[in-house]
């Protein structure tokens, strides 16, 4: 806490609130049939994206997942362009062709969300290899879920990153479920972090609903990577408050379990800390909340006023 300025702490609070309000707005728009397809909400996991991105320099890279809105916002994406993308508009990050799972923003070092589970892991490893060869001093953070730790590319990538001592931090967002499959049923080890040992890299478990703990853990891993000492596997234990995607009635978990995790909501928890430490008053936090409400309304207005792609150009920019 001591090494963080008030400005940075308030930035962290604002980003968490932006992620929450963005996804709640997206949920509302879905229910009104204004967004089509599917999407995966990040509500409940905000502390992982924000604590992690707060540990990075602006030139560093991230790779994201199918649940990527939070990563994009924490790395500095333009919320107007994100909203436009979800509404299929020409002003969106992929000119409205990609939607929720394909937001990429190279200007902020975000190498892209990804609909294929685990596919960001080799991409991040490749980016880190490029940084090492170029000696550009950049670190790549790779976000992925607990479901991704059982795919081959996870194991291949961690092995190579360790052999070559690449500047990469693997951040596993263990939100307890891969669709309807609980992590206990699908994964042999109790803590995913122990898999770091197989590849001779540190594996650390962190409370993923505590933004400061995430910041501190990832900062240490980033510093290690920047010193040329190689990768780290961070397991951030957290929970998604909503279902897997839009059509999930959550029959595989109990309402009691959900309530237990919601009591650990990372946003009020951080707000209480900021008040306790006299970093911000209730009124100051409220004014941040109001500012973000306004930001969301403006983003929606921008998206609604943006043009749809022209029908004759619909296949333009589509490569697969
Ligand atoms: C290679 C691959 N297999 C299966 C799917 C279908 N699928 C989409 S999301 C998902 C679960 C992912 O769970 P996890 O990695 O834990 O991320 P979370 O959704 O919990 O954030 C699956 C199996 C896919 N998109 N890609």
Determine the Cα–Cα distance for residues 144 and 148; give it in Å rounded to an integer: 6
Residue 240 · residue 42 · CB < 8 Å: yes
Protein residue with its CA nearest to atom 5 in ligand 1: 117
Q: Which residue has the tokens 């931090």?
A: 169
Say how far apart CA 20 and CA 17 lie, in whole Å. Answer: 5
Distance of CA 29 to the CA centre of its chain: 21
Work out the end-to-end distance of the chain between its first and last CA atoms, rounded to an integer number of angstroms.
Answer: 46
pLDDT of residue 246: 82
- Ranges assigned E (strand) in the chain: 61-63, 140-145, 168-174, 177-178, 181-182, 203-207, 232-237
pLDDT of residue 3: 77
Nearest CA to ligand 1 atom 19: 178
pLDDT of residue 247: 81
Say what the pTM is.
Answer: 0.98
Rg (CA), the chain: 19
Residues with CB under 6 A from ligand 1: 40, 66-67, 115-117, 145-148, 173, 175, 177-179, 244
Q: Measure the CA–CA gap between 238 and 47, rounded to whole angstroms.
A: 9
pLDDT tens, N- to C-terminus, the chain (320 residues):
557 999 999 999 999 999 999 999 999 999 999 999 899 999 999 999 999 999 999 999 999 999 999 999 999 999 999 999 999 999 999 999 999 999 999 999 999 999 999 999 999 999 999 999 999 999 999 999 999 999 999 999 999 999 999 999 999 999 999 999 999 999 999 999 999 999 999 999 999 999 999 999 999 999 999 999 999 999 999 999 999 998 899 999 999 999 999 999 999 999 999 999 999 999 999 999 999 999 999 999 999 999 999 999 999 999 87
- What residue spans of 87-151 are helical by DSSP H? 120-134
Task: For residue 242, give every residue at least 6 positions away whose Cβ sits within 8 Å of its Cβ, in sequence order, or none.
Answer: 27, 41, 43, 44, 248
**Do the beta carbons of residue 46 and residue 264 sit within 8 Å?**
no
Question: Phi-psi category of 99—alpha, beta or left, where left has phi over 0 and alpha has psi -120 to 50?
Answer: left
How far apart, in whole angstroms, are the C-alpha atoms of residue 299 and residue 62?
Answer: 24
Which numbered atom of ligand 1 lies nearest the CA of 116? 26
Closest listed residue to residue 240, CA positions, set 206, 205, 208, 272 = 208
Q: Looking at ligand 1, which residue's alpha carbon is closest to its atom 20? A: 178
Q: Looking at residue 1, what is its pLDDT?
A: 57
A 10 A CB-CB count for 180 gives 14
Locate the ligand 1 atom nearest the alpha carbon of residue 67 and give its number. 21
Give me the pLDDT at residue 115, please: 96
């Amino acid at each position: 806490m001591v090494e963080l300025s008030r400005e940075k702490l308030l930035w962290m609070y604002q980003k968490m609130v932006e992620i929450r309000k963005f996804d709640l707005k997206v949920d509302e728009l879905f229910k009104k049939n204004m967004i089509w397809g599917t999407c995966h909400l990040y509500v409940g996991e905000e502390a992982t994206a924000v604590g992690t991105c707060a540990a990075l320099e602006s030139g560093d890279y991230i790779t994201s997942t199918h649940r990527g809105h939070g990563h994009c916002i924490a790395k500095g994406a333009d919320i107007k362009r994100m909203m436009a993308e979800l509404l299929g508009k020409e002003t969106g990050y992929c000119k409205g062709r990609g939607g929720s799972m394909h937001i990429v923003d190279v200007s902020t070092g975000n190498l892209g969300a990804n609909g294929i589970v685990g596919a960001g892991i080799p991409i991040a490893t490749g980016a880190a290899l490029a940084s090492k060869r170029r000696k550009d001093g950049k670190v790549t953070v790779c976000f992925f879920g607990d479901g991704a730790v059982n795919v081959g590319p996870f194991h291949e990538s961690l092995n190579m990153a360790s052999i070559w001592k690449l500047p990469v931090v693997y951040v596993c967002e263990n939100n307890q479920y891969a669709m309807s499959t609980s992590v206990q049923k699908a994964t042999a080890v109790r803590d995913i972090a122990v898999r770091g040992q197989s590849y001779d890299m540190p594996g650390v478990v962190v409370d993923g609903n505590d933004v400061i703990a995430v910041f501190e853990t990832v900062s240490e891993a980033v510093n290690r990577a920047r010193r040329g000492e190689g990768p780290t596997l961070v397991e951030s234990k957290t929970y998604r408050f909503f279902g897997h995607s839009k059509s999930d009635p959550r029959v595989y978990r109990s309402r009691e379990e959900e309530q237990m995790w919601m009591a650990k909501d990372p946003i009020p928890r951080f707000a209480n800390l900021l008040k306790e430490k006299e970093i911000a008053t209730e009124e100051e936090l409220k004014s941040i909340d109001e500012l973000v409400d306004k930001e969301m309304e403006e983003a929606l207005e921008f998206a609604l006023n943006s043009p749809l792609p022209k029908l004759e150009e619909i296949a333009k920019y589509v490569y697969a």
